[in-house]
Structure 1
């Protein structure tokens, strides 16, 4: 299994990317159905969805598109995986929301959220390991770090706080799950990266050609 996941063949990398993005979208759907809070960006998309009446997944895609526009002045170059992330995560999230019921009891809510967080962390390691480009939000962070010279934690925290505040004001659900995501997603993703033997520093993403 692990040997298969580490194969360099492009077809395997594309399959890995697709499966990873599908799991990522389903992980988001599970956390949303837990209804105890979600990641800052998902709170933003949820609030936008409730305000506009547009589906959560479509709001996620629209937010990704706007974030990619912000890459232009930051001189960030997207990879194939970047565009796939922007287009597919929202679609898979909507698909998951269509089939996953809303958790009712607190135990079920916590379990549903925890399952989503674990799945999302695994999915992150899976699609990053494909080496086909980072997601739109990660590229925004790295571009701002390079432009401002500020530390990663400061830029990431500023972005996350900004979107969660806007999302909350728009009606997104902020709660214990939001805090659990903030403190848990990093360590869990690191564990998954090690389990799948993904070395991010050694990757050479497949970039889109310059215009």
Structure 2
């Protein structure tokens, strides 16, 4: 358990810092951060605190969906928000467009790395990920349908409230999946083992493809 916690906690804090890079870039952020920014504009509360509160509210939605949180779920709610606030405190607001694009790219890559690190700990999904799987299990809809529906909804609401939706939001939607496809196996020993086993099964000849004994061997 301790080695997995030592992966989980830095991974969640790094996730928050990665979000801070993209927020400072001001070219658009992921849908949930757009939502948090919009609520922040309307309430004056910090984005980090709101990220925690929104995560807690999403966790309450797990109850009718009959999802069970793990320790990773709880720590996700507690640590990502402070990670964002730490990153915003440390990072200056860049002025030139290319610096902002560099900040966004750095944040996107760091977020993919952080996802691989904390998901690889296998101590429970984040509240938003659990919401998607809960919708899938409760209503039988494909996971991508539930995820798309929820994220489009929070994106639109956040943008109406004043959140930063832009080209970075589109880039996030297009690139985070492929990047996590690289980082999850890289930082998750279980995923690496499963990949090796699948590769071994594909390369091993099946019983039907193995050559049978020659007539001389059969006669012997």
With the length of structure 1 as denominator, give the TM-score of the two structures.
0.89
Structure 2: tracts of 5 or more residues without a match: 195-220
**Residue 67 of structure 2: SS of its match in structure 1?**
coil
Are 1:87 and 2:110 an aligned pair?
no
Question: Which residue in the other structure is 2:126 paired with?
Answer: 135
Q: Which residue of 2 aligns with 1:4?
A: none
Looking at structure 2, the residues matched to 52 and 72 of structure 1 have their Cα atoms a distance apart, in angstroms, of 27
Q: Distance in 2 between matches of 1:202 and 1:59?
A: 37
Q: TM-score, normalised by structure 2?
A: 0.85
The count of residues paired between Structure 1 and Structure 2 equals 194
The alpha-carbon deviation at position 131 of structure 1 amounts to: 0.8
Aligned equivalents of 1:183, 1:198: Cα separation in 2 = 26
Contact 1:75/1:143 (<8 A) preserved: yes
Q: Map 1:21-32 to 2 at 5 A.
A: 21-32=12-23
- Over the aligned positions, Cα root-mean-square deviation in angstroms equals 1.5
The equivalent of 2:66 in structure 1 is: 75
1:155 has 2:150 as partner: no
Which of 184, 208, 214 is the equivalent residue of 1:193? 184
2:25 maps to 1:50: no
- Once the two structures are TM-superposed, the CA of residue 95 in structure 1 deviates from its matched residue by 1.0
SS of equivalent residue, structure 2 residue 8: helix
Per the TM alignment, residue 201 of structure 1 is displaced from its structure 2 partner at its CA by 11
Once the two structures are TM-superposed, the CA of residue 202 in structure 1 deviates from its matched residue by: 8.8
2:114 alignment partner, SS class: helix
Contact 2:20–2:84 (Cα < 8 Å) also in 1: yes
Question: Which of structure 1's runs of 4+ aligned residues deviate more than 6 A?
Answer: none
| Aligned counterparts of 1:31 and 1:65: Cα–Cα separation in 2 | 23
Q: CA deviation at 1:196?
A: 2.1
Structure 1, unmatched stretches of 5+, are 1-9, 204-211
The structure 2 residue matched to 1:174, chosen from 138, 152, 165, is 165
Q: Report the structure number with the largest CA radius of gyration.
A: 2
8 Å Cα contact 2:4-2:122 kept in structure 1: yes
CA contact (8 A) 1:128 1:200 kept: no
Is 1:113–1:177's contact at 8 Å kept on the other side of the alignment? yes
Q: Indicate the SS of the match to 2:164.
A: coil
**Equivalence for 1:120:** 111
